Structure 1
Amino acid sequence: MVKKYFLSICLNPVMQKTILLENLYENEVNRSKEYYFTASGKGANVSRVLSQLGENVILLTQAGGFHKDLFVCKLESDGVPCSWVESQSEIRFCYTLLNRAKHTTTEIVEEAESVGLEVENEIYMKYCELLHNCHTLIISGTKAAGFSKDIYPKMVFDAKKIGKKVILDIKGEDLINCLEYQPDIIKPNYDEFASTFFDDYSFRENKVNDNEHELLKSRMTEIYELHGSTTILTRGKFGAMFWDGRELVYIPAEQITPINTTGCGDAFTAGFGSAWKTSNIYVSIQNGMEMAKRNALLIKPGVIK
């Protein structure tokens, strides 16, 4: 009997280089004795944390170019089962600069090269093969140029049609186009939600005033009533909020001195998904926040140990 698993989608993979610096000076030579390569992208990070939590997970992604073997090898060494297709395009690099003196995380992000139509077709064929034996579909992050606007909605539709749970950590048009197919959970961060659903927004993550509270409550209620989707908004060090069907609930975060905040949202998604198999939303969010905290206290992104 095949064990059920999380099916994690990552259509914008990346090789992440994390560089630890005692301090970061502009217009100067900054030398580092400590740096790491990690197979990353939001879906890859989610998959790695799920694996570290002891969950069965399969990552579906694309890879290509000179560094594709390194990407796949890094996933394998992290214990992440991966089903991938050849993208015929170089996998992008991103760089995380950790400033020990100021406890800051600075990211330099390369835009992904475009993929061809055949890549989407092959990804979708593999998706259809993997979908039936999963219990939960998790789609995380943006997609590389070349993928159609239909790929995410099509995946959500297929999953819900056969009764799978669906968690979305996406934003903008991708998120809006998926809602009609009734994903169970949508989990953008606070800024992503505001920019997706409010054209002229000036919301501040650190403080939600009464007017913003009512606007958020109204939109989350609308999403819940129209699509049956529960909205969870992560707010970094300010915790999380969610709509429980009756009220907007705020959950504070434990205050820490972070080492690397890259991948914290992905660790949250994994922690939430793991707990949500057997627990309610509130408990699952608390578990997500605990995994995000663990990630923030480590150097590598998308890890909890």
Structure 2
Amino acid sequence: MRVLTVCLNPTFQNTLLFPSFRLGEVNRAQEHYLDASGKGMNTARIVSQLGEESLLLTHLGGQRSEEMLALCRKDKVEILWADSKSEIRTCTTILCDGKATELVEEPNAVDSCTEGPIRKLFSEAIQRSDALIICGTRAPGYSASLYADFVKEAKERGLFVLLDLKGDDLKRCLAYNPDVIKPNLSEAAQTFLGLAVGEQDDTATIEDAIKPVLEEIYQTYHTTTVLSRGSQAVWVQAESFFCVPIEPIEAVNTIGCGDSLSAALTVALYKGTNLQQAVEYATKVATKNAKTIRPGTIF
């Protein structure tokens, strides 16, 4: 199968491993890695590592575009891109004492001439794709309706569609009946309940509030929700609600786990695996990602 991943927020990812880390001091990394990343590239790389054909639609710009293209080729991801005339951001993961700290640069706005070529590339790419994954926040400069337009076009062509989005982008897309949405708990609470939930917060009280919303989404749009909660069981809402436990492990780097889940879930469901088995498979792939130092990889 061939999977098209769309993410309009490309990223270089520096991963630095420290034996110890002290704020306000010089800290020397024990190991360091540079990868093409962002939610889209992480997802597309996992699709490739699962043995499927992987396309990534994004924008590139600035002095490091060729470097990004070379990294994508190394990961066997075919990249389709438009010139955004904006530099590619860099994010940094600090790994120390079994914990990951993420330092995030905000994306630069794309040039106003970027959207037209992106739309054209998308329309061409879905003609040779079986499934579509849209993930991540759009960089500034794109139309608010862009992702919804993509979902509409893809569903009209009969593609399987999975969304890893949040906020208004996710809400706008629901009208076109995506097959699966995969927010994490924090994103779902913010999008549908207007609640801010931190990754370390107690989420027990959120379940009663969010479950009716997920059920309504399924009844209204026939869209399945697969809601990830870090190391806690995944919540799934389709015709019924069920949970899929996560294997307890000592995580090395959790960056890209949600992206791994999206990739594996798309591959499994497109191939006809039943929902519960597909989610179980996807959580195992995400767990493999958590055991690696680099983001969005199971090798």
TM-score, scaled to structure 1: 0.94
From 238, 243, 246, the equivalent of 1:250 is: 243
1:292 alignment partner in structure 2: 286
The residue type paired with residue 295 of structure 1 is N
The residue type paired with residue 265 of structure 1 is G
From 189, 206, 216, the equivalent of 1:222 is: 216
The residue type paired with residue 54 of structure 1 is G
The residue type paired with residue 38 of structure 2 is G
1:206–1:238 Cα contact (<8 Å) kept: no
Size of the alignment, in residue pairs?
298
1:19–1:35 Cα contact (<8 Å) kept: yes
SS of equivalent residue, structure 2 residue 175: helix
1:203–1:212 Cα contact (<8 Å) kept: no
The residue type paired with residue 141 of structure 1 is G
2:151 alignment partner in structure 1: 156
TM-score, scaled to structure 2: 0.96
From 6, 9, 21, the equivalent of 1:24 is: 21
2:136 alignment partner in structure 1: 141
The CA deviation string for residues 88-120 of structure 1, in whole angstroms up to 9 with x for no partner, is 000000000010xx2000010001110022111
1:266 aligns with 2:263: no
2:51 alignment partner in structure 1: 54
The CA deviation string for residues 166-188 of structure 1, in whole angstroms up to 9 with x for no partner, is 10000001101111111110000
1:38 aligns with 2:35: yes
Backbone CA RMSD of aligned residues: 1.5
1:239–1:289 Cα contact (<8 Å) kept: no
The CA deviation string for residues 134-170 of structure 1, in whole angstroms up to 9 with x for no partner, is 1111001111010111110000000111211110000
2:260–2:286 Cα contact (<8 Å) kept: yes
2:190–2:197 Cα contact (<8 Å) kept: no
1:275 aligns with 2:268: yes
The residue type paired with residue 26 of structure 2 is V
1:132 alignment partner in structure 2: 127
1:168 aligns with 2:163: yes
2:92–2:102 Cα contact (<8 Å) kept: yes
Query: How many Å apart are 1:33 and its aligned residue?
Result: 3.4
2:14–2:93 Cα contact (<8 Å) kept: yes
The CA deviation string for residues 25-45 of structure 1, in whole angstroms up to 9 with x for no partner, is 111110013101100110110
2:12 alignment partner in structure 1: 15
2:82–2:117 Cα contact (<8 Å) kept: yes
The residue type paired with residue 46 of structure 1 is T
Map 1:197-216 onto structure 2 (within 5 A).
197-200=192-195, 208-209=203-204, 212-216=206-210
Provide closer, same or farther for how the CA distance between residues 249 and 98 of structure 1 changes in structure 2, counting only shifts above 3 A.
Answer: same
For structure 2, which runs of at least 5 residues remain unmatched after alignment?
A: none
Q: Give the fraction of aligned pairs with identical amino acids, expressed as a percent.
A: 38
The CA deviation string for residues 34-71 of structure 1, in whole angstroms up to 9 with x for no partner, is 10110011011000011001011111111111111111
Query: How many Å apart are 1:221 and its aligned residue?
Result: 1.1
SS of equivalent residue, structure 2 residue 15: strand
1:120 alignment partner in structure 2: 115
The residue type paired with residue 288 of structure 1 is A
1:78 alignment partner in structure 2: 75
Provide closer, same or farther for how the CA distance between residues 74 and 200 of structure 1 changes in structure 2, counting only shifts above 3 A.
Answer: closer
Question: What is the rounded CA distance, in whole Å, between the counterparts of 1:197 and 1:135 in structure 2?
Answer: 29
Question: What is the rounded CA distance, in whole Å, between the counterparts of 2:198 and 2:236 in structure 1?
Answer: 16
1:14–1:91 Cα contact (<8 Å) kept: yes
For structure 1, which runs of at least 5 residues remain unmatched after alignment?
A: none
Question: What is the rounded CA distance, in whole Å, between the counterparts of 2:93 and 2:59 in structure 1?
Answer: 22
Query: How many Å apart are 1:207 and its aligned residue?
Result: 5.4
The residue type paired with residue 153 of structure 2 is D
SS of equivalent residue, structure 1 residue 96: strand
Question: What is the rounded CA distance, in whole Å, between the counterparts of 1:301 and 1:202 in structure 2?
Answer: 24
Provide closer, same or farther for how the CA distance between residues 9 and 173 of structure 1 changes in structure 2, counting only shifts above 3 A.
Answer: same
1:186 aligns with 2:198: no
SS of equivalent residue, structure 2 residue 254: coil
1:194–1:203 Cα contact (<8 Å) kept: no
SS of equivalent residue, structure 2 residue 113: helix
Provide closer, same or farther for how the CA distance between residues 80 and 97 of structure 1 changes in structure 2, counting only shifts above 3 A.
Answer: same
